[in-house]
Amino acid sequence: MKLAKKLFRLTTLTLVLVGLSSGVYSAVAQKPTGPAKRSAPSSRAHNEVISSIVRDIDARNIERTIRTLVSFGTRNTLSEQNDPKRGVGAARDWLYGEFLKIAEASGGRMTVEKQTFEQPKANRVPQPTMLTNIVATLKGTQPESADRIYVVSGHYDSMCNSPTDAKCDAPGANDDASGTAAVLEMARVMAKHQFDATIVFMTVPGEEQGLLGATYFAEQAKQKTVNIDAMFTNDIIGNTLGGNGVRDRGNVRVFSEGVPSNETTAEGNTRRSVGGENDSASRQLARFIKEVGDAYVPQFKVTLIYRRDRYGRGGDHIPFLERGFPAVRFTEVNEEYKHQHQNVRIENGVQYGDLPEFVDFAYVANVARVNAASLAMMALAPTRPRNVAILTARLSNDTDLKWDANKEPDLAGYEIVWRDTTSPVWTNSKAVGNVTSFTMKGMSKDNYFFGVRAVDKDGNRSVVSYPRPVGRTPADRPAPSSSQP
Ligand SMILES: [Zn+2]
């Protein structure tokens, strides 16, 4: 407890210059003039539960899962539903059985559900087809937090050249047995631990048919107003030798959108008025993953990509984003297109097809470690502060922040974080105690971005909340042509 308190006071700056290879960051170009102290860089991991989760993740289990999924021949969403040996149904039933075994070690806290629905005829669905999401829920143990949900997902369907060819072999070892295996391994390791909030380990079909399984889950969650605080999709996380010839075993990309997919015109106007295009909830989530990942899996780096997905492409996080849930995508650094969506064949001596020999199981394990550490930290920490606002009623060189009080009994207090406007990540933090407002004296909101995060008594930190302006809405302001603000 003493140590935790000390660490809390340390105003830890978890992220810092490590990994900021973009060259954009200018170290201490603008020294804060107020009393706010520039905190010392520190990326020390100190939560023993999270460290033990990271240690327990085992590449051999991931390899076994990937090879088993490949052994079903194809997992195309349109393939056999009732053949125990081949097709998407065999994969579905095997995964369900594996999650059930894992749930036995959870002391009744994990439940496993088949979420089955009929997908009507669609672009890549020539006839109505039953799809089944496998959903394992590890219930949070803190009453104030149990309805706060973190979803981690991978898609268990696969395809060869044609998404509607249900007969061809489609091993899908990397796309996306890798993500599915990572989710299963996280469930195995994390089911033994207790978390304040709830974690959902999910594997879905229909990704290659148009994100169908994920869309169904996200839509159900929206209709039932489920509090999904964050969603991760793991898709194509196992190839370490890219088609560009580059071998990279030490980085994973995390994609996050800057402007929310579901933003209204009014919200967009407000965002533009405060320069918040780089500060969506999903981007705060991505920055959080980098902080936690770099601290707990130090030999393996998170590379933040500031776009929703790869160029012009998509994945299972998008239906969540479209419904207002913060979400990111994990993907390897250099993709190899000869081993994605290809019929298995040799052409001019070159092997095509998504085969297990092209998956780096140890690498998948590291991606799973970054996922698991981030999920564990979020589910142990208090919720990110709600209704965070910058008060704009007075024109001032100070910055007035306020937020709602958290309800968790183990809350210790809050930290204000900030960065220069050109910095990609939060660079500074200041512990301000258990208060619901704070003024950053002498630090103008014109010159920095600010955020607020909650901290519990063990030093677990929430994702940062980015404030909205309160007091003078854009509508209150004179027309933009006016010279006075
Ligand atoms: Zn995929």
Q: How far is the CA of 134 from the centre of ligand 1 (A)?
A: 17
Alpha helices in 224-360 (DSSP H): 265-274, 281-296, 318-322
Alpha helices in 58-142 (DSSP H): 59-70, 88-103
53: tokens are: 């989760």
pLDDT of residue 42: 41
- Rounded Cα gap, residues 242 and 318, in angstroms: 25
Kindly tell me the burial class for residue 442, based on how many C-beta atoms sit within 10 Å of its own C-beta (0-12, 13-18, 19 or more): middle
For residue 106, the 8-state DSSP code is: G
Q: How far is the CA of 176 from the centre of ligand 1 (A)?
A: 5
The tokens 């996922």 sit on which residue? 371
Ramachandran category for residue 206: left, alpha or beta (phi over 0 → left; psi -120 to 50 → alpha): left
Q: How far is the CA of 303 from the centre of ligand 1 (A)?
A: 19
pLDDT of residue 412: 98
CB 417 within 8 Å of CB 451: yes
- Rounded Cα gap, residues 1 and 216, in angstroms: 43
Ligand 1 ion: nearby residues, β-carbon < 5 Å: 175-176, 235
Q: How far is the CA of 373 from the centre of ligand 1 (A)?
A: 23
The tens place of each residue's pLDDT in the chain, 485 residues long, gives 344 444 444 433 333 333 333 322 233 333 444 434 343 334 456 899 999 999 999 999 999 999 999 999 999 999 999 999 999 999 999 999 999 999 998 999 999 999 999 999 999 999 999 999 999 999 999 999 999 999 999 999 999 999 999 999 999 999 999 999 999 999 999 999 999 999 999 999 999 999 999 999 999 999 999 999 999 999 999 999 999 999 999 999 999 999 999 999 999 999 999 999 999 999 999 999 999 999 999 999 999 999 999 999 999 999 999 999 999 999 999 999 999 999 999 999 999 999 999 999 999 999 999 999 999 999 999 999 999 999 998 899 999 999 999 999 999 999 999 999 999 999 999 999 999 999 999 999 999 999 999 999 999 999 999 999 998 554 444 444 433 33
Q: How far is the CA of 410 from the centre of ligand 1 (A)?
A: 39
Q: How far is the CA of 376 from the centre of ligand 1 (A)?
A: 25
Q: Pick the closest to residue 150 from 373, 458, 369 (CA basis).
A: 373
Q: How far is the CA of 175 from the centre of ligand 1 (A)?
A: 5
Q: How far is the CA of 348 from the centre of ligand 1 (A)?
A: 27
pLDDT of residue 45: 65
Q: How far is the CA of 172 from the centre of ligand 1 (A)?
A: 9
User: Could you tell me whether strands 129-138 and 110-119 are parallel, antiparallel, or unpaired per DSSP bridges?
Assistant: antiparallel
155: tokens are: 């898609």
Read off the pTM.
0.89
User: Could you tell me whether strands 148-155 and 129-138 are parallel, antiparallel, or unpaired per DSSP bridges?
Assistant: unpaired
- Interhelix angle 88-103/59-70, rounded to 10 degrees, is 150
